[in-house]
């Protein structure tokens, strides 16, 4: 039986979100408006650019997972799209809740993931 997100997990999430907010610039898990009108999420940071989730029409789009670590950093497992140069990415005033998971009560193990929503910034790609 999978664990249920509870008060202890909520405390972990609160500390994690606080740590996440200390990072500047686009973060893995944040959202981005693409020039084609789609909304995607950042999946990997190469330093000079970021990759995103694949487009909505891609068959692997639903097969994605964002893990949220206690440091506030996120990692992604799933299909990646092309890298967007960092100088083409601009912050908007929008915010969205992004779906993440972490280990129940902070203890790793098989089938110990709990899902949560965490605040994410929203960016736009300049064409």
Quick one: CA dihedral 8, 11, 15, 20, positive or negative?
Answer: positive
Per-position pLDDT tens, the chain of length 127 = 889 999 999 999 999 999 999 999 999 999 999 999 999 999 999 999 999 988 655 544 555 789 999 999 999 998 889 899 999 999 999 999 999 999 999 999 999 999 999 999 999 999 8
Neighbours of 42 (CB within 10 A): 25
Nearest to 20 by CA among 119, 108, 124: 119
Rg of the chain over CA atoms, in angstroms? 15
Distance, CA of 111 to CA of 74 (rounded, Å) = 19
Question: What is the per-residue DSSP string for 18-84?
Answer: HHHTT--S--TT-EEE-TTS-EEEEEEE-SSEEEEEPPTTSTTTT--EEEE-TTS-EEEES-EEEEE
For residue 69, give the nearest of 13, 117, 27 by alpha carbon. Answer: 13
Per-residue model confidence (pLDDT) at position 63: 55
Q: What is the pTM of this model?
A: 0.91
């Amino acid at each position: 039986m999978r664990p249920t997100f509870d008060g202890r997990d909520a405390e972990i999430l609160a500390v994690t979100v606080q740590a996440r907010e200390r990072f500047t610039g686009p973060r893995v898990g944040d959202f981005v408006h693409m020039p084609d009108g789609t909304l995607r999420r950042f999946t990997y940071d190469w330093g000079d650019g970021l990759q995103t989730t694949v487009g909505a029409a891609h068959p692997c789009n639903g097969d994605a997972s964002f893990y949220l670590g206690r440091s506030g950093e996120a990692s992604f497992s799933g299909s990646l799209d092309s890298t967007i140069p960092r100088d083409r990415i601009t912050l908007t005033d929008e915010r969205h809740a992004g779906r993440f998971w972490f280990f129940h009560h902070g203890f790793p193990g098989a089938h110990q993931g709990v899902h949560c929503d965490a605040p994410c910034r929203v960016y736009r790609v300049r064409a």
